[in-house]
Amino acid sequence: MTVGVTAFQGAVEEHLVAVERALHHLGREGRAVPLRKTLGDVDALIVPGGESTTISALMQKTGMWREILDRAEELPVMGTCAGCILLATEVVDDQVPTLGLMDMAVERNAFGRQNQSFQCMLEVAGFSDPVPGIFIRAPLIRRVGRDCQVLAAMDQGMVMARCRNKLALVFHPELTEDVRIHQYFLNMVED
């Protein structure tokens, strides 16, 4: 299994390490590769955080945007923070171009500015113990469609959702030592 991580912005190295560790914990063969121009032969894709308008522009400039849309049906994709925004069909009060791969509406920077970042433990559906979530200028999922399942929420709103083979998180699991979210995604790829 080859998991690509878009390498335009965000915690790319941390996602690569988390995927490698998750593969090891699951006892699976595979590798994680950074992607700067094309998707190549990846079996799954992770779109990290960063600035959603910049990532969107770079994906379009390199042609990766079109490749993702062409493979949208079969390609499992996980988006964290800005990656979550790019997966959505709608961005509340903003004009960010999105891939529109998940029927959901998100609100950018819903938790405020950089200095309002925080960490908390999250109850995630199907997980026996809480998962650490790091929120950095995080969006919120405001609405999900019928085909989407909410996997985690807080008082402020939804923070993790799944639609078929797409997984959206408003937080950063790659910045923690806990690789269960990445394991969950790898299991989605295998299903």
Residue among 189, 184, 173, 148 nearest 80 (CA): 173
From the candidates 67, 84, 163, 174, give the one annotated as an active-site residue. Answer: 174
Closest CA to 131 of 76, 185, 69: 185
Yes or no: say if 72 and 87 are a contact pair by the CB < 8 Å rule.
no
81 classed as catalytic: yes
Catalytic residue among 81, 84, 148, 163: 81
Known active-site residue 174: yes
Count how many Cα atoms sit within 13 Å of the Cα of residue 97 in the half-sphere of its side chain.
12
50's tokens: 């960063």
Where does 104-179 have alpha helices with state H?
none
Query: What is the C-alpha to C-alpha distance for residues 104 and 101, in angstroms, rounded to an integer?
Result: 9
Is 182 an active-site residue?
Answer: no
Instruction: Select which of 107, 163, 172, 182 is catalytic.
Output: 172
The CA-CA-CA angle for residues 179, 162, 10, to 5°, reads: 50
Which residue has 């408003």 as its token pair? 170
Could you give the residue numbers annotated as active site? Answer: 81, 172, 174
